[in-house]
């Protein structure tokens, strides 16, 4: 399964969103190719995009919860299956 499709687009709240990108809870757009690691905590994901690494305690990860951004959450949650 190809997770980095660049030619397919989906509609999300009437805005075209390229499937190569996800939207975090803080409204930041993240390129999937820049994700270093993802940690699943209940129905939320913590996403690290820093090449030097991230700390869960310092808050330098992006948070993505199913309740806030279901489409983006489901796209990354596939990685855990």
Tens-digit pLDDT string for the chain (81 aa): 333 333 344 444 444 445 689 999 999 999 999 999 999 999 999 999 999 989 888 888 999 999 999 999 998 888 877
Rounded to 5°, the CA angle 70-67-43 comes to: 90
Round to whole Å and give the CA distance between 65 and 41: 9
Q: How much is the pTM?
A: 0.70
The tally of CA atoms less than 13 A away on the side-chain side of residue 51 is 2
Domain boundaries, the chain: 9-80
The tokens 């994700």 sit on which residue? Answer: 35
> How far is residue 32 from each of residues 36, 57, 60, 63, 79, measured CA to CA in Å?
9, 23, 17, 14, 12
Round to whole Å and give the CA distance between 41 and 14: 29
């Amino acid at each position: 399964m190809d997770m980095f499709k660049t030619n397919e687009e989906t509609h999300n709240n009437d805005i075209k969103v390229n499937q190569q990108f996800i939207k975090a809870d803080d409204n930041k757009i993240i390129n999937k190719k820049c994700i270093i690691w993802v940690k699943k905590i209940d129905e939320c994901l913590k996403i690290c995009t820093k090449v030097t690494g991230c700390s869960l305690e310092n808050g330098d990860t992006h948070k993505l919860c199913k309740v806030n951004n279901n489409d983006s959450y489901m796209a990354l949650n596939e990685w855990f299956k």
